[in-house]
Amino acid sequence: MARRVTSSVTSSVTSSVTSSVTSSVTSSVTSSVTSSVTSSVREVSDALAWDVAVSLDRILPPDILGPTVRKAILHDFASSIELTERNSRSMKEPLQPEREKSWWHLNLTAPVAKMLDWYIRHHPESAHLQIGEIMRGARDEWACHRRPRSGRCARPCPSTVS
């Protein structure tokens, strides 16, 4: 009977120790592997972020992005002006004379405004040039041209041409 008890105790202790050791080893290995994988993923993501930051001009070249932003802004301005003119006609109010026209109604959509903001922050020299082009394009399209001494426009304003 003593042998049975000893065998039972030995088997119980062995089972308990084996379970404890297995659990400890498994936990340690899992923790080590997880830490290693996390570290590797972090290294890869840091390297990728650095690579993107260094090669930004190749990914989004300013000579392609600039005209795209300019056209989007001028399109938003044209939409704003068209909407204002349409609202003026529907309310049967006369449009303001050209020299009194205010530009407060020029709006940009949120995505275009965010892209312009990003473009200015990342490519300030190119953005400076494109903003000048936007101003020139808006003036050429919607502003009344210099009036000679006769009081008439040197060429008809787009808003007055039918």
Q: What is the pTM of this model?
A: 0.55
Predicted confidence band of residue 157 (pLDDT cuts 50, 70, 90): low
Q: Which pair of structure tokens corresponds to residue 121?
A: 């922050």
pLDDT of residue 16: 58
pLDDT of residue 99: 45
For residue 145, report the phi and psi dihedrals to the nearest 5 degrees: -80, 165
Greater model confidence, 56 or 2: 56
Pair 66, 123: CB distance under 8 Å: yes
Considering only 30-34, 92-96, 125-129, which range has the smallest mean pLDDT? Answer: 92-96
Q: Cα 66 vs. chain centroid, distance in angstroms?
A: 15
> Residue 147 gets which letter from DSSP?
P
What's the average model confidence in pLDDT over 113-130? Answer: 94
